[in-house]
Structure 1
Amino acid sequence: MNIRITSGAAALVLGAALALSGCSSDGDSETAPSPSAPAETGIPEPSTEDVAALDAVTVTGDPGAEPTLEFSTPFTVSAPTSRVIDEGTGPEIAAGNQVTINFVQFMGDGTKAGSTWEQGQPESFYLGDPSYEVLNEPLTGAQVGQRLLIANPVQGAEGETATVVSLLEVTGTAPARAEGEAVEPAEGLPTVTLGDDGAPSIEIPEGYEAPAEMVVQPLIKGTGPEVTAESTVTVHYTGVMLDGTQFDSSWERGTPATFPLTGDLISGWTEGLPGQTVGSQVLLVLPADKAYGEEGSQDGSIPPNTPLVFVIDILDAQ
């Protein structure tokens, strides 16, 4: 079931993940790590020559826009090597947080490999995700706004090795789950139980009937900024029908969803989320007319006239 037409900026681009990490696609990047310090990775230390080579790269351009990188070619390093260009001044980044970045990449021969600034959409990953192991150490404890220059040798499909030079800028961070003060829900509503990672399970009371009006019940009250009708939000969510059947869960996909509330969403979301705060967890009980109405969902997973229940963790709002 799709609650929107297009996927948001939280969707990872495989090429970017491989180029930044040098890992194979067999790595497990589907689940968020626990919010603890990253494990030892065994990444080799850069040599003195690697550090000197990266120090010689010139970066020009203001933060917030795609920079220009100048370096002698062919550019090579023997191990992942990083250099901080600008310290950030925003919130500190902790293990387990979702991190949003813009980046531009060049091959060692000077060929431009890609740019999120050109795409118009940043990328996101969990700090601690082993697929991004070369970023975990330099970004842990950093602040939003940091610009990091990183060179990484990667292996191609034919076994050849090339160096990728990247300049990335951290544009935002969000916790991996709702954080705030627990709220006692009204009696008689579906009950929510959280797993160790924060993923909710939803139990529908026996004999529960769909309400005539939408129910918006905060379960956790966050302390972040208020969501508006024009916000682009990053959320984790799970949705079930009144018989308890789960039809969708970003938790199972391992990646939060990011989308504008002005987009093609069911009205229960566009009406139920504004006014809530970042860090909150919200229970939405939607009568059919606030969900998919008389037509049901386009993919057929939600039948016509079906009430729905969602538990939504609001991780970020811009």
Structure 2
Amino acid sequence: MRRRSLLIAVPTGLVALAGCGDDESDTSKASDSASPAASESAPASAPPPPKIVDGPLPAITAGTKFGEKPTVAKGSGDPSKQLAVKTLVAGGGKVVAEGDFITANYLGQLWDTAKVLDNSWDRKSPLLTQIAQGTTMEGWRYALTGKKAGSRVEFSVPPTWGFGKAGNTQLGVKGTDTLVFVFDIEETFSAKSSAKGKDVAQDDADLPKVGTNTDGKAPSIDVPKADAPTKLVANYVIEGDGDELAADSTVLVQYKGVIWDTGKEFDSSYSSGKLTSFSLQQVVKGWAQGLTGKKVGSRVLVVIPPKLGYADSPPPGSGIEKDSTLVFSVDILAKM
């Protein structure tokens, strides 16, 4: 199971709408969207890898350019029993690797009827998901790994690598249904991803100074020999030019946390080698308040006083003492 950040205040509680593999039982439950985001645990028995074939695939009859909402025709004849994948627009960005997070616009529908199950264009909110076993539909994992950011990919997913024999009653998918997807991959993020933007002067000698390297390595955090602030601090170190975060945004971040009194690191995505994604409604108050309004692409210094952190109830085994002031460097990589 992926390691959960110490920052999470409550568990996510989201269960996959997409069953992984050929599961006999339908354990899907409602979530905020019908995207096949899955739980953190890998499936007990994953199906064998599919063969990747060229087709058949339905025609896109409108919205053929990258970034445009596509209209996809009904499938003709019988779909492949394997994974049919075609790159319709070849991008020039980074290659999507196993374990990466991506942001993408996508549309999914049924092969036989062309009934649209979900699409991110209408929500005006790209999908943010990790391409890894147990965290996304297996068909997505196999079809999108190896593709480049900036690409439009169309593919069909038979039940084995989709919802399995149980189908998905909430979406109206039978256990015999083949699914068709069109993905516009906007960006891909790995454990080496960093903020990107303009450095901002760090002139206050009474506040920690954060390194501005953007090589994917953890930045330094130099805590001054001064009294910790009693109020929340949330200052740009690097200011990006992306969208501002809302109070309910789901974000993808790199981060490092140290304790003010000792400068000792207690939590870090750099050390774990894994990015962290969560809703700002699910983290400690200092993070939620400090990151709301900040821009995607930025690195932010966040100093959290005890009342907005863990106060007198730090997580057991975290190394955080009661009433500790916490210092973070946070790279905001993406939002959903």
Same fold per superposition (TM over 0.5):
yes
**Shift of residue 279, structure 1, vs aligned partner:** 0.8
Distance 1:219 1:195, change over 3 A: closer
Q: Counterpart of 1:292?
A: 310
Query: Which structure is higher in helix share?
Result: 1
Q: For structure 1, list consecutive stretches of 5 or more residues without a partner in the other structure.
A: 24-43, 155-163
Q: For structure 2, list consecutive stretches of 5 or more residues without a partner in the other structure.
A: 1-5, 15-36, 120-126, 133-139, 161-177
Q: Secondary structure at the match of 1:216?
A: strand
Q: Counterpart of 2:130?
A: 124
Of 240, 243, 250, which aligns to 2:258? Answer: 240
User: How big is the alpha-carbon RMSD for the aligned residues of Structure 1 and Structure 2?
Assistant: 4.6
| Aligned 8 A contact 2:92 2:150 in 1 | yes
TM-score (norm 2): 0.58
TM-score (norm 1): 0.61
| Aligned-partner Cα distance in 2 for 1:188–1:278 | 26
| Aligned-partner Cα distance in 2 for 1:206–1:166 | 56
Q: Counterpart of 1:54?
A: 56
Q: Secondary structure at the match of 1:178?
A: coil
Q: Secondary structure at the match of 2:56?
A: helix
Q: Counterpart of 1:161?
A: none
| Aligned-partner Cα distance in 1 for 2:319–2:11 | 18
Residue 6 of structure 1 aligns with an amino acid whose one-letter code is: P
| Aligned-partner Cα distance in 2 for 1:226–1:301 | 32
Distance 1:96 1:313, change over 3 A: farther
**Shift of residue 173, structure 1, vs aligned partner:** 3.1
Of 83, 86, 92, which aligns to 1:83? Answer: 86
1:278-308 superposed Cα distances (whole Å, 9 cap, x missing partner): 1110011122112111222366543210110
Larger RCO (alpha carbons 8 Å, 6+ apart): 1
Aligned length: 257
| Aligned 8 A contact 1:99 1:124 in 2 | yes
**Shift of residue 201, structure 1, vs aligned partner:** 3.4
**Shift of residue 199, structure 1, vs aligned partner:** 3.1
| Aligned 8 A contact 2:194 2:331 in 1 | yes
**Shift of residue 179, structure 1, vs aligned partner:** 0.7
Residue 288 of structure 2 aligns with an amino acid whose one-letter code is: T
| Aligned 8 A contact 2:266 2:318 in 1 | no
List aligned pairs for 1:213-252, cutoff 5 A.
Answer: 213-242=231-260, 243-252=262-271
| Aligned-partner Cα distance in 2 for 1:64–1:11 | 28
1:90-124 superposed Cα distances (whole Å, 9 cap, x missing partner): xx772167413568799xxx9xxxx999xxx8632
1:133-185 superposed Cα distances (whole Å, 9 cap, x missing partner): 8635543431xxx4521679x9xxxxxxxxx9873534753663211001111
| Aligned-partner Cα distance in 1 for 2:183–2:302 | 35
Distance 1:96 1:274, change over 3 A: farther
| 1:178 aligns to 2:181 (yes or no) | no
